[in-house]
Structure 1
Amino acid sequence: MKRTLLSIAAIVLAATGCGDVDTSEVTSKAVIPLQQAPLADAAAKRVVGIGEATHGNKEFVQTRMLIIQKLIREHGFRTVALEADFGGAAAAGDYVMGGQGSAEAAAAALGFALYRTRETADLIKWIHDYNAAVADRDKVRLYGFDMQRSDRNKERLLSYLAKVDPTQVRPVQESLAALTDATRTTQDAGKVTAAAAAAGRLVAQMTANREKYVSGSSAESFALALQHAETLHQGARLQTSGNDYASKRDAWMAEKIDWIADLEGAQGRKKIIVAGHNGHIDKSGAAFSFESMGPRLAKTYGDDYFAIGTDFGTSTFVSRDDGSGERRRFTVENDSPLAKLFGDEPLGYVNLAQASAEPANRRLLASEIRMGNVGEGFRSFYSSLTWAYTVKMVPAQAYDAIVYVPRASPVTPL
């Protein structure tokens, strides 16, 4: 009798897949191999967000690349914004627009170790090669929407000032000296606060002298330089923001995307691709207790924001070890009920509205389930704690489409 009860329990668990979510009638009819997905559902939107469940799996970077390629080639998108340093992405942008250097150096310039991978370099090289074959009006612009780094922003800001207002170069250089990538987490708080105030004054000064600066350069050059100054101002304030760090960062990232969309839109490039962690792309903000970037974008753009999330079954990924500080591999498993929605497809794309035409699928997608969620930082013992690498969320509230990887493998560090 005991063995019978155990067998029944095993059957029930197999049918439900996860907790009390019944997946017995869930169908994979709506799944499409990502390489074959037409992305017509996303094509008409102003902003398309592409999320990654971890920063350290190659399949999620490849997912980003496949979607970016199709949206550019077939649907007229010409702007790509990454969860990367604004100044570093500007340097990488020089390369993709035909400048000197290499894709590997451009990937490293993005400002975070998570981008120093073969897969990210391949994406950047593809954009570079695409741009080399098209007219200037069709070239793809690359941006970053993060503000946690200083060096590249200072470098480009000072270069601009040297052209339009040389007398300001040394004072600005001295007033912002405390803001460096190397001392971002160790710099004296008083020095950072003083530098933040100086950056704020610089933003005000540049704004007041806009006409003079534009006449000595161009409206676009001025707008970019002013944004470098604003990025330094935001980054300095982040360093001393304590418990408000994450909420301020997400709010400012959303603002930066709005700024990019406005700048590009004014030049006829209305549609923008935004790529970052699932936690920032998700419309419901499930990963945070504050209003994160995804809900802000959903509020600003409404139905014109299309969010594509990602998930995994088993993931071996590369991340920073929060114990040693070194980058290494970790492995986690998520017994997701979403697996049945994707069947045997190794890299499947599902439009949630289309999948929800089936009642069982609709119930699943409207249920609160755990989806993979690993940030930049992990510890080995987290692997035994499901809540440490997943987030409870309602897929239909968070995303418009999902890409699922049954077995995700690690990125290739450069």
Structure 2
Amino acid sequence: MRPGPEAHKRPSQRPLMRGGLVLLLVLAGLAAQAQAYLNLGLEPRANRGQPLALWGLTVPPNGRAAFDSVVFRQGRSSLRLELPATEAAPRAAYLFTGLVPLDSTRGQLVTVSVWVRTRGWRGTIRLSANNTATTIAGLTTQTAAALDSLPNADWHRLALQVPVRAVAFSFGLSVQLRGSGRVWLDDMQLSVRGRPLPELPVPATAALLRPAEEVLTTNWDFERRLPYLTQPDPAATTATLDSAKAQHGRRYLRLMRPNAPSGPAPAAYLGALRLAPRQGGQRLRVLGYWRRPGGPAGGGPPPSFAYRLLSYRASPQGGAWLPDTLGTAANLPAPGPQWTSFAFDVPMQGFFSASTDPAALGACALSVVLPSPGALELDNLTFTLDGKPYAPTGPPGPPPPTAAEQAWLRTALRPLRLATPATAGPDLAALGSILRSARLVGLGEVTHGSQEVFSLNARLSHYLIEQKGFSGLLLEASPAGCAALGDYLRTGQGDPARLLAALEGWHTPAMLDLVRGLRAYQQAHPGPPLLLAGIEVRQPEQALAYLGQLVEAKDDFAQSRLRQLTQLLADYRQPATAELDLRFGPDQPRDSLLAPLRRLLAELGTDFDTRSKLGPPTNLQLLARQRYYLRLVEQGATWRRLDPSAAENYRQACLAENAHYLSQQAGGKLLLWANNRSVAKFLTPDERPMGEWLRATLGAGYLALGVVLGQGRFAAQSPAGQWAPATLAAVRPGAYEAWLRSGPPAFWLGLSKLELTEDNAWLFQSQLLHDLSYADAHNQYMLHSLRAEFDAVLFVRDSTPAPLLP
């Protein structure tokens, strides 16, 4: 959901997800192209922005985990975990991995440590390490643990020692939190004889660092040029496609490791082979050819292979690849100056054993390890399953739009112009006709940083207000910040550029032109005043400050309550340390902050009402505005106390309540400019957007217009609040944009009255769609259903970053 720029600032809470795969050369010492690292320092930019790619993380319901760039012991961040209090058994969170590299730890006494910081913590923190080996008696595991309880401690080192067996095949770490409160973790270390071990790449993990859809793009005979070959690392291993004497076809892969200091052997990632549940338990054999012209420089151990089985976990955000079994293939026929065949088996016993889904997806990622300097050449990798040739075809990909589908779109769409002014033209006249009967029109945006979206929405707002009888504009922005703009429309007082600057992210040239144009229209039509107001609930401090401006300075009763409310809001935390059940306990008498806040708001409401009725007659609009801002403070305070899983649905309901109230106050038709996800009439069964509330309340009186972008760039806001250009992700096959971009540069398409045909069936299916807000995102796509969400969609093919006024 859209985190508006005026929202309560807090560290990013993006989901901590693992990534996918690309055909890249993996170098041990190059972070940008390396295999994944454990990231013991818990830095958010590690592993291509997937810091926990090699970790598992579980938090209880209503718990949270996020990287904290404000509180940390070293580097740039720490991992913050928040566990709610509960009357039942203590909740537990786990951070764990079984992928610790073993090369430097086998046969050693290893010290494992982590730095911990706590606030309001009630419970235990347990650091554990274990290593497993195979003996004649079977599997045996050795475990060590350190336990501590730290209620309110600054950085404190938790450490343990564990002897790692010389024959261990796995080494795991875990941190378990059991209790409630806040805990920060940072600067984990593995040490031997008092010296910290360097972070080493984990073999065969390149598959976890790239988008999941690239996993099955393979080139086992090396006939096609590989993307990474244009960016070799001259200081370590380089890779090229050569054609001097191929074993098969025209080309082969040539890897060169120059003489280098001792250290972990670099590995070149080769690709991943698609597997399915029916292949679990079968014998996968890898066959190929290699040679070593001139032999290894200075002698040394021969090359080997590392493989890792991967499983795929699907999700609405696009899914992720998860690491499974790691294995190595050594003692192969040494490569000589001529092509030498090799073969090795990849055991798959137990792989897919827990899957009953025939569509489940797995893969075997392959890397070749180069322990010695010199050249190694590879060619013609093939595979067998239980002795039969295996050449997976991969999952079916979405086909491109057909000529008939493109022809249907061209006949159904209506072109649009982006430029202002809002002269009446056939494009807007046709769109205006479908909005004639609406009382509220939700005007969406796929991102808040597109100049073209600002221009299109501003032009449409001009047109509907000046020529179709709409009486104002509501923004998904701070009501207090919008109040001064609304006064400017009515009175002309103030500098609109300065007033817009108070709405961070809205101060663009297109928005300034719109505000000035509406003021000119108001001057030329001095009838009912135009409305420009905000509906956002996430700034209760701003709402309270504005409420103070509506209270007489001599009203000591109200002023004392305002001061108490200011202090309460300053002490608020999000979410509350205890679970709030507002459905069955709306008064929340046990909540030390929410209960007194509601009491003070009720006392203020009584004061306003009594004074207005017992004193001289006052403007009833003032009393209505006071009551509205009381409600805004309560909404924002309640939203801040809720867990994020419930807070967004609560916020969307409040946005709808505020929009409906202002619509009733205005007594006319209003435009509602907000994010696509807010104006939508439906999202998922678990999400309740503002548009769904308004459609349930107003019926056909609410219409939703979605805005879609095809390609280009936009302005994105960083967690620190700075704006910088970002790039829209390329259109994916099967995304709505794949069809929409076949039309003109800008158009609108009605959706509510479509009849299903073979040529528009793609609009009747859930598809991927760009889904952004103020910030950029690692995955810019989400599943959507355009027809269920919007009455019409406005499409703009090319986007440029929205410029901000100085």
TM-score by length of 2: 0.44
State the shift of 1:212 in Å: 3.3
Distance 2:479 2:759 in 1: 40
1:174 equivalent in structure 2: 563
1:212 equivalent in structure 2: 611
Please state if 1:32 is matched with 2:430.
no
2:636 equivalent in structure 1: 235
Match of 1:370 among 755, 768, 784: 768
State the shift of 1:169 in Å: 4.3
2:486 equivalent in structure 1: 93
Q: Is the 8 A contact 2:565 2:600 kept in 1?
A: no
Opposite residue 481 of structure 2, the aligned amino acid is G
Distance 2:477 2:634 in 1: 17
State the shift of 1:59 in Å: 1.3
Distance 2:468 2:656 in 1: 24
State the shift of 1:172 in Å: 2.7
Match of 1:273 among 671, 676, 682: 671
Opposite residue 366 of structure 1, the aligned amino acid is F
Structure 1 residues 116-157: Cα deviation after superposition (integer angstroms, max 9, x where no partner): 3222222222222221221132x3111111022245423331
State the shift of 1:351 in Å: 1.6
Q: Is the 8 A contact 2:458 2:514 kept in 1?
A: yes
Match of 1:252 among 642, 645, 654: 654
2:253 equivalent in structure 1: none
Distance 1:283 1:257 in 2: 15
State the shift of 1:186 in Å: 9.3
Match of 2:459 among 66, 71, 87: 66
- Number of aligned residue pairs: 383
Identity of aligned residues (%): 21
Please state if 1:132 is matched with 2:523.
yes
Structure 1 residues 260-280: Cα deviation after superposition (integer angstroms, max 9, x where no partner): 122222xxx2x1211100000
State the shift of 1:199 in Å: 4.3
Distance 1:136 1:240 in 2: 43
- Residues 128, 361 of structure 1: alpha-carbon distance in 2 compared, 3 angstrom cutoff: farther
State the shift of 1:250 in Å: 0.9
Opposite residue 159 of structure 1, the aligned amino acid is Q
Matches within 5 A, 1:64-213: 64-110=457-503, 113-137=504-528, 139-162=529-552, 166-178=555-567, 196-209=594-607, 210=609, 212-213=611-612
Gaps of 5+ in 2: 1-222, 225-394, 418-426, 579-590
Matches within 5 A, 1:259-298: 259-265=661-667, 269=668, 271-286=669-684, 289-298=686-695
Distance 1:49 1:188 in 2: 32
1:330 equivalent in structure 2: 726
Q: 3-state DSSP class of the match of 1:15? A: coil
Distance 1:42 1:406 in 2: 23
Q: Is the 8 A contact 1:371 1:392 kept in 2?
A: yes
Gaps of 5+ in 1: 4-8, 383-387
- Residues 407, 173 of structure 1: alpha-carbon distance in 2 compared, 3 angstrom cutoff: same
State the shift of 1:373 in Å: 1.1
TM-score by length of 1: 0.82
State the shift of 1:359 in Å: 2.5
Q: 3-state DSSP class of the match of 1:272? A: strand
State the shift of 1:349 in Å: 1.4
Opposite residue 411 of structure 2, the aligned amino acid is K
Opposite residue 259 of structure 1, the aligned amino acid is Y
- Higher mean alpha-carbon deviation, 143-152 vs 309-318, is at 143-152
- Residues 100, 12 of structure 1: alpha-carbon distance in 2 compared, 3 angstrom cutoff: closer
- Residues 51, 204 of structure 1: alpha-carbon distance in 2 compared, 3 angstrom cutoff: same
Distance 1:196 1:96 in 2: 36
Q: Is the 8 A contact 2:462 2:514 kept in 1?
A: no
- Residues 405, 185 of structure 1: alpha-carbon distance in 2 compared, 3 angstrom cutoff: farther
Q: 3-state DSSP class of the match of 1:143? A: strand
Please state if 1:392 is matched with 2:783.
yes
Distance 2:500 2:402 in 1: 42
Matches within 5 A, 1:339-354: 340-341=739-740, 343-353=742-752
Q: 3-state DSSP class of the match of 1:334? A: coil
Distance 2:803 2:650 in 1: 31
Distance 2:738 2:788 in 1: 18
Q: 3-state DSSP class of the match of 2:797? A: strand
Match of 2:800 among 406, 409, 413: 409
- Higher mean alpha-carbon deviation, 341-350 vs 76-85, is at 341-350
Q: 3-state DSSP class of the match of 1:229? A: helix
Opposite residue 14 of structure 1, the aligned amino acid is P
Structure 1 residues 219-262: Cα deviation after superposition (integer angstroms, max 9, x where no partner): 22111111112111221222222322212211111111121122
Distance 2:713 2:471 in 1: 33
- Residues 12, 296 of structure 1: alpha-carbon distance in 2 compared, 3 angstrom cutoff: closer
State the shift of 1:357 in Å: 5.3
Q: 3-state DSSP class of the match of 2:703? A: strand
- Residues 366, 11 of structure 1: alpha-carbon distance in 2 compared, 3 angstrom cutoff: closer
- Residues 363, 248 of structure 1: alpha-carbon distance in 2 compared, 3 angstrom cutoff: same
Query: Which structure features the higher share of strand residues?
Result: 2
Q: Is the 8 A contact 2:568 2:597 kept in 1?
A: no
2:291 equivalent in structure 1: none
Distance 2:494 2:724 in 1: 28
Opposite residue 303 of structure 1, the aligned amino acid is A
Distance 2:572 2:508 in 1: 23
Q: Is the 8 A contact 1:31 1:349 kept in 2?
A: yes
Query: Which structure features the higher share of helix residues?
Result: 1
Structure 1 residues 41-72: Cα deviation after superposition (integer angstroms, max 9, x where no partner): 01211111100000111111122112211211
Q: 3-state DSSP class of the match of 2:538? A: coil
- Residues 211, 173 of structure 1: alpha-carbon distance in 2 compared, 3 angstrom cutoff: closer
